[in-house]
Structure 1
């Protein structure tokens, strides 16, 4: 829809955008869509540069006051629905461009992105400009150099260059306390899931990345289509699982840290899913099926409640699967027994083939190693079974067998089934 506000250039731009959005894209193939995208990205950079310039002019003119706002940051949050961080970044960019003409020119020409200019912006902060002047630094030369780096190098190289400049600007400054730069917070949702925010100093971040990357790279099954973020989250959970199982974490109120699941006995023995039947130690509610999965091995304390709510089974001040049995299962299975999985034994739970709640005993014959991913699968319909010859077979919920290459011929399948 055409804007009724004054401004011939803006109205002309709206007209062009209307024309662009009306073009059909479904017939574009090969190089054509990439060329169109490249042109749009350059135009986006140019438009972002003009927006930043306009925001700065509004700030200088105290235009936010016209709408009763105290600052352009608050105007952007209230009128443009910006987040606080995005509003602050845009205002900082507008201010920085006044002192970095080479960067501003490259931005206006479409050679730099708004993100790149945001990385450079701290160079033009007042305290850094004062420090540069006191040390005789040629800010104009730095401006031109950073504009060239931003337009010719990848983003990590730009971040490194800016960080190097700012560090050299104050080489004798006090070394910050890394513990003051770290924070971890999360919000718990109604279903018990967590959303978190993590901030770490460079060294702390390096350690966390090294630990998570080691687990992520050690378990890269073929055909894994999860995103990098999903894989990293899974590695973080595995890292915690390993530590809980190792028993080396600090004691909490006379007990080693562990997960706790509380569930009524009726829900535990019921083969149904049982949504919302069990409660975890930190208050989350999970299904009975999930509780049965958690109760298989050693990282969880089970508390089974009778009909009147009295504890029937406090389970596991010692492990349900004793150490000597786990070692025997590890020696026999070597790792996850689910078809096609190569997870090592120290990533696995000991799964009861017949659940102890259904009368299954805790024995070598009734046990098998399963990694977290496949342990979940087995508690959601998949089945694993050990054959008399020692081989493991995995079946889907529909009864068909999960086979790995090289797959047997029809004759071999018939013979084995017989």
Structure 2
């Protein structure tokens, strides 16, 4: 539920077992965390840091909310690196923003795949903690970089392909990214690279069609055209 102050309220009806699991995990992470000389991150293990004596000024509700978000972000990290987990796409949130907006040279906002707007300040803050993957766009709206540690690989590559293609690239098809695979235009077994310029979104149906009928395509920085 979207609230008038810009916040969002989440409500869930859970069975007894699932409710107990959620409550137990949040309770384990929502204890007060006194200040440390190491950093301001309450969930950091503070190796070598000393307690400053400053109390944790978060309210009980804020501590529980922070604990819930820690569970979400750490769970997303694990899902995206575990090939055995079935998902419709990347679990870690990707926020797209123009380079000039991110650096403060022009006004504007970033946006999530679902269309939610986030301020550049929030994106810079979250990107520093690696809680999201910021996708930086150039002047032609081409992806310049995805993430902080790896450039255009694995989940970052899929995020870049989604940003460029937006939907299945087969003519006349608009199935969303969550229904699509990242297709190698030149097949991997024929020497095709796993790269942005050799990738395109295709839904299951048209992925099969393209392979069966041996369709080819041309990729530019702005999109995919079928030959």
TM range (shorter): 0.3 to 0.5
Scaled by the length of structure 2, the TM-score of the pair is 0.47
Scaled by the length of structure 1, the TM-score of the pair is 0.27
Structure having the higher helix fraction is 1
Mark the structure with the bigger radius of gyration.
1
